[in-house]
Amino acid sequence: MNFDINKDLPVIALLGAGSMGVAITRRIAAGKRVLLGDISEENLEARARELRTSGYAVETCVVDALSRESVRAFAERAASLGEVRHFIDTAGASPNQASPEFIVALDLVATAVAIDEFARVIAPGGSGLVVSSQTGYMMHFSQEVERQLALTPTDELADLPFVREDAVANPGMAYIAAKRANHLRVRTAAATTWGDARARINTISPGVIVTPLAYDEFAAAGDSYQAMIDASPARRVGTPDEIGAAGAWLLSDEAGFVTGTDLLIDGGVIAAIESGRYSLNVR
């Protein structure tokens, strides 16, 4: 059955149609139009069908997050559908799925591109959320490196000496650097491009969350993940629904005074590292 959809509905744009992004979107999508963006057309259709059969208004757009032109077209498509009230970015690759160079390109540079492009179309009073990772807290960088990651123009990020030399030393280092950069780029955008648009943007940093893609990580490094979980105060994994609840709050008007910050949701893993209960081995 086809229903007439009000074209004046505010728009939610989700880049990266994975479990956590969809969990967040579900909680805020009632009465809004959802634009799903992903590089996989098969994944897009599966997620869209799941949401449509639950009563949500959904459209899809194939997006290559590594291409500024593709991300810009996605942002413009979102704006053509109505007032862009929310942007959620979950696009990324994990250390056991990709090379250091690919992680830098997708998790670091492409995320910065998406932040830039959606600053151009987000509505006044709108909000954005970048899904980062607990790994952004797992290493302390110098003030100068952090300043460069925060303030270097996006098109020059990949050419930073730290990125070209240190960040690509191994996938783990690349991932940590990229996720720390997510925090720093969002903090900067909150005070500049997104702030100028009268919109808010934050990051959220999940810990070990069970999703279909997470099983690739568990298969490759199950023992280290188990040790991390055992050392954490929560002593369990997290769920996409827990991330959904926290992400929905950050995007809501109830968090209207929150911008440029990160919400760490890791069951206490970083607390265990900082207290010496767990020793990190970056590979």
Catalytic residues, by residue number, are 175, 179
Contact 99, 171 (CB under 8 A): yes
Percent of the chain as helix, strand, coil, to the nearest 5: 50, 15, 30
Strand duo 122-131 + 57-62: pairing: unpaired
Instruction: Kindly give the interhelix angle for 143-151 and 171-191, rounded to the nearest 10 degrees.
Output: 60
112-142 burial, b if ≥16 CB within 10 A, otherwise e?
bbbbbbbbebbbeebbbbbbbbbbbbbeebe
Contact 216, 225 (CB under 8 A): no
Beta pairing partners, 122: 84
Tokens encoding 263: 């919400």
User: Where do the DSSP E strands lie in the chain?
Assistant: 11-15, 33-38, 57-62, 84-89, 122-131, 200-206, 262-265
Tokens encoding 61: 């757009």
Please give the Cα distance from 192 to 186 (Å, whole number): 10
How many C-beta atoms surround the C-beta of residue 239 within 10 A? 16
